[in-house]
Amino acid sequence: MKIWKKLMIILNGKQKRMMVLLLVMMVFGAFLETASISLIIPVMTLVLDQTAVTRNEILASIYNGLGMTDPKQFTVFVMACMVVAFIVKNLFLFALQKLMYRFVYKNQFETQEKMLRSFVKRDYEFYLNIETSTIQRIIAADVVNAYLLILCLLQIVSECIVFIMLAIALLVVDFKMTLVIAGLLVLTLIVIKEVIKPIMHRTGKENQDYASLIYQWLSQTVGGIKEIKVIGRENYFIDEYSERGAHYVAAMERLSLFSNAPKLLIETVCIAGMVAYMLAVILAGKNLTEMMPALSAFAMAAVRLMPSANRINNQLTQLAYYEPFFMNVSDTLLDETSEKNIDMSYAKDAEKMEVSKEILLKDITYKYPGTEKLIFDHAEMSVPVGSSVGIVGGSGAGKTTIVDILLGLLNLQGGVITADGRDIMENYRGWLKNVGYIPQAIFLLDDDIRHNVAFGVPEDQIDEERLWYALKEAQLDEFVKSLPEGVHAGIGERGIRISGGQRQRIGIARALYNDPEVLILDEATSALDGDTEAAIMDSINRFMGRKTLIIIAHRLQTIEKCDMVYRVADGKITRER
């Protein structure tokens, strides 16, 4: 009941109307299932004795109403009606299944997209206190499992409606046989719940544990392949992976075995109950031939009911498994996916915010969320447009924080960043359009050079002239031209197919694609060897006098050609030269 209440809260009006339509279709589908199986009785009656058409009132009225004179012709007609009924029923059920799966998976992806929008829209500071794996789990796993619960719920309702309608029909056909089989079925379900389910639960937990260990060792083996080969420990990692795999295989065998056991048990009990009832009828001296039509209907209903009972049983188990995910997602879903939190209109393209005189950090006060230590306490820094400014300081002093402040990523406790006297936050997207950012570690797509330079630009909007301008300014154009595929050459995951210097030059080209006035380099060469760093700095120094450069450095030689140098210490930004 609490699941249903939560469901009614998180579903919007359109989704609720679709749920009602699905429920109506389920009832009609169950009616078709019952009607099609019920047709077996008159068909078997006529097959066994075609003269029954004159003795059975219902058959006789249909026979006479159609104006037929040949019982054989009528038998063929009834058999054809049964085939048509099954075709119509199955086509309808196929359409129902399609609508049900579309409802679940379409809304599942829409929710994932809304959750992603909500996370993307959050302030950068949010990401300072959360692991990216948590966000990935919420979007990729928790939301999926929540909607799998909804699918389970719909399938349980569907199967229960069919089960109830068929059971009612069987009670009408043969009350005693139905009660016997139903009683045995209830006892079987109790055995499954008390004996098999605990085994499945324990095995499922083992399965999850060993699966996690397998992925852990697989990740460690692939991620550390270079060190593994150099140290010569290939066998160790393979053996560790194999040992976990052996336990995983054993757990999977038990889980699959006991997952199928209820189906086999239900089937065995139902068939045994039906046979026992027929034996009792024979021993009682009754004519079994007269019961054949009813027994045929029972057999057909059993073929449908046995897997139905098994599916209800399995879906109830999965419902319990998915419930925590559903509750976790539903508690935050309404807030996270509200129109306000998923509105991405702010992210539209903007005209550059021109700056021609000065960039000023004025009276800056900042501390990170959840901390009391002030990183900056009424600090100030002036950057004349066209100059090159170096920023140095000890580890943890706040050098990178200055970059994040200039990029507008942090919520200041006090102060303002201005460009020619205008607050950059008044036209934030326009300010970012005029800033090129080059970090220490360049984030690279597993794509070609073209899409890594024109980062996030749709294919049909990539400007070839800008692309080649950026490559040339980054001194990467000759390298790209030497490649057989040119700008369409793939660089591999994390740029594994190119050198560290080339990866950094792609980062420079990306920063230059929009031809910004301001270039911010956050220790952009600190991870490179001496020769590569010198080559990259030569490329960067070419922009002095042409661009406004703000360079965060951990080595003084990196900023020796800068027009001015600031030192960050004790919450202040002090000019050294």
Q: Are residues 521 and 442 in the same domain?
A: yes
Could you tell me if 295 and 438 lie in one domain?
A: no
Q: Strand, helix or coil at 575? A: strand
Flag whether 50 is in a domain: yes
Q: What is the pLDDT of residue 286?
A: 67
CATH number, domain at 535? 3.40.50.300
Co-location of 186 and 277 in the same domain? yes
Is residue 556 in a domain?
yes
One domain for residues 502 and 541: yes
CB of 298 closer than 8 Å to CB of 173? yes
Indicate whether 413 and 516 sit together in one domain: yes
pLDDT at 198: 74
Statement to judge: residues 335 and 377 lie in one domain: no
Please tell me the pTM assigned to this model: 0.69
15 occurs within a structural domain: yes
- Please tell me whether residues 330 and 412 are part of one structural domain: no
Spans in the chain with pLDDT lower than 70: 1-2, 9, 49-52, 55-56, 132-133, 197, 200-201, 203-205, 207-208, 212, 226, 230, 255, 259-260, 263, 267, 285-307, 310, 317, 320-321, 324-325, 328-347, 524-531, 533
Claim to verify: residue 223 and residue 275 sit in the same structural domain: yes
pLDDT of the residue at 333: 62
Range of the domain at 531: 358-575
Q: In this structure, is residue 228 part of a structural domain? A: yes
Strand duo 414-419 + 358-366: pairing = antiparallel
* Last residue within a domain, chosen from 311, 342, 373: 342
Residue 346: per-residue pLDDT: 59
Backbone angles phi, psi at 383, to 5 degrees: -125, 105
Domain annotation covers residue 348: no
Q: Cα dihedral sign for 228, 230, 233, 235?
A: positive
- Please check whether residues 337 and 363 belong to one and the same domain: no
Which DSSP string do the residues of 414-454 spell out, in sequence order?
Answer: EEEEEETTEEGGGGHHHHHHTEEEE-SS----SSBHHHHHS
Determine, yes or no, domain membership for 462: yes
Which of 342, 368, 384 is the last residue in one of the domains?
342
Tell me which of 342, 372, 406 is where a domain ends.
342
CATH number at residue 130: 1.20.1560.10
Same structural domain, 483 and 542? yes
Planar angle of CA 295, 302, 154, nearest 5 degrees: 145
pLDDT at residue 360, rounded to an integer = 92
Q: Note the pLDDT of residue 246.
A: 85
Examine the domain organization and report whether 320 and 373 are in the same domain: no
Q: What is the pLDDT of residue 303?
A: 64
Expressed in angstroms, the distance from the first to the final Cα of the chain is 71
Same domain, 248 and 363: no
Give 364-423 pLDDT, tens digit per residue. Answer: 999 888 888 888 889 999 999 989 888 888 887 888 898 889 888 888 899 999 999 899
Residue 347 belongs to some domain of the structure = no
What is the reported pLDDT for 239? 85
Domains of the chain: total: 2
pLDDT digits (tens, 9 = 90+) for 500-522: 788 888 888 888 888 889 989 88
Query: Within a domain: residue 528?
Result: yes
pLDDT at 290: 62
Note the pLDDT of residue 418: 92
pLDDT in the model for residue 414:
92
